[in-house]
Amino acid sequence: MTSTRPKILVVDDTPANLVAMRRLLARVDADIYEAASGNDALALCLDHRFALVLLDVNMPEMDGFEVAQFISDNDGMGETPIIFVTAAYADDINRIRGYTAGAVDYIAKPINDVILQSKVKVFLDLYRARALLQTALDELSLRNEQLTREVNERTRMEQLVRHQAMHDALTGLPNRTLFRERLESAIATANDGGHAFALAYIDIDGFKGVNDSHGHAAGDELLKAIAARMAARTRASDTVARLGGDEFALLLDGTSDAENALARCRALGEVIAEPYMLDVAGARIPAHIGASIGVTLFRDGDAYDRLVASADGAMYEAKRGGKNRSVLAA
C-alpha cells in the first residue's frame, strides 16, 4: 500500500525567514510549500491538503489570525493543524486569540531547531496515523459494500432457485409442488374456520393432435398461450398451476357456491377454447382445442387426497361426457 507524501505549508512575508525555515525543514520527510502572504497561503490551501501549516502571525493585509480563522472555518481545511511562528504576540491574551482562531501550538522566534523538528515530527506522525486509519476505514467500507453486494446476490440467487424449483419452466406458472403447498395451506385455513374454496382440474382436449401434427415447438407455444389466458382470467388470490403435460389445476379462493364455481370454470373453458394462432419458427400455425374441467368444493374436514381425487374424477367425467365442458363433482 502506498501513501500520499505529507505536505507542509510555511507562511511568512519575509523572504529571509522562508529561506531559514526551508533550511531547518530540509531533513523533514515531507514536501515543503511556501507562501509570502495570507492570500497566497489560502490559495495553496484550496489546492492542497496540508499535514501542517507553519504560520507567521505578523503579516500585512491579512495577518496570521485571519488566515488561521479562514482555514478553521473552511469545511475542507478545518482539521489542518496550524502552528503560529512568531517573535511577537507571545502573551497569554494573544495565545488565547490564536487558539481561538484555530492554532494548535506556538513556536517562538528565533526558532530553536530541536523544538521545531520535534513538533513537526509529532504532527507528521499524527498525519500519517490518520492517513493509515482513513485508508483502513475506506478499505473496510469497500469490503462492507462488497459483502452487501455478495449477500444481495446470494439472496437473489436463492430466491431465483426457489422460484425455479416452485414454478414451471415453460409457462412460468406454479408447478405441482407449489400448488400442493398452496392447496394444503388453503385446506388448513378452511378447516380452521377460514374461507372455503373450490378446486378445478383441467385437461386440454386436442393438445396431442397439435403436438403430433406440428411438433413439440408448436405444443410448447400452445401451452404458454393457454397459461397466459388462464392467468389473465383468474384473480390474484386464485392459483393456476401447470401440473405437467397438458394438465392444469385451479384453486378458486373464497368460492364456496357450487353454481358460482361451475360458472367461473365454464367461462374459463370458453376462453381456453378460443382459436389460437401460434408463431413457430417464422410460421403462423392455427390451433383449435378445448378444455375438460372437473370442479369440486371444499367440505368441512376435507383432506388433500379427497379433494384431488374428487376434482380429478370430475375432470374424467367431463372427458367421457363429450370433452370441452365443465363438470361439478357429486
Handedness of CA 46, 48, 49, 53 (dihedral sign): negative
- Active-site choice (238, 246, 302, 312): 246
Q: Taking the complete model, does pTM exceed 0.85, yes or no? A: no
- Cβ(211)–Cβ(276) below 8 Å: no
**pLDDT of 316 strictly over 60:** yes
Residues 303 and 270: beta-carbon distance below 8 Å = no
The pLDDT value recorded for residue 108 is: 83
Other beta carbons within 10 angstroms of residue 97's beta carbon come to 17
* Omega within 30 of 0 (cis) for the link into 110: yes
Cell of 156: 437473489
Q: How confident is the model at residue 85 (pLDDT cuts 50, 70, 90)?
A: confident
- Predicted confidence at residue 1, as pLDDT, reads 41
Residue 40 designated active-site: no
Q: Is the pLDDT score of 2 beyond 80?
A: no
pLDDT at residue 90 in the model: 57
Distance between CA atoms of residues 54 and 72, nearest Å: 14
User: Minimal CA–CA distance to 79: which of 140, 35, 134, 16?
Assistant: 134
What is the separation of C-alpha 253 from the centre of its chain, rounded to a whole number of angstroms? 34
What average pLDDT does the structure give for the chain? 91
Burial 140-168 (b: 16+ CB within 10 A, else e): eeeeeeeeeeeeeeeeeeeeeeeeeebbb
Per-residue pLDDT at 91: 60
Give DSSP secondary structure letters for 200-228.
EEEEEETHHHHHHHH-HHHHHHHHHHHHH
Count of other CB atoms within 10 angstroms of residue 323: 15
User: What letters, b where the CB count within 10 A reaches 16 and e where it falls short, cover 190-229?
Assistant: beeeeebbbbbbbbbbbbeebbeebeeebbebbbbbbbeb
Cell of 189: 385455513
Classify 277 as helix, strand or coil. Answer: strand
Q: Which domains does the chain have, with CATH numbers?
A: 7-135 (3.40.50.2300), 176-328 (3.30.70.270)
Question: DSSP characters for 99-142?
Answer: HHHTEEEEEESSPPHHHHHHHHHHHHHHHHHHHHHHHHHHHHHH
- Residue 309 to residue 260: CA distance in whole angstroms: 21
Provide the 3-class DSSP secondary structure of residue 14: coil
Model confidence pLDDT, tens digit, residues 232-281 = 999 999 999 999 999 999 999 998 899 999 999 999 999 999 999 999 99
Q: What is the mean pLDDT of residues 134-155?
A: 94
pLDDT tens readout for residues 24-76: 999 899 999 999 999 999 999 989 999 999 999 888 888 888 888 888 888 77
CB within 8 Å of 220: residues ≥ 6 apart: 170
pLDDT score of 106:
85
Q: For residue 204, what pLDDT is reported?
A: 97
Q: State residue 88's pLDDT score.
A: 63
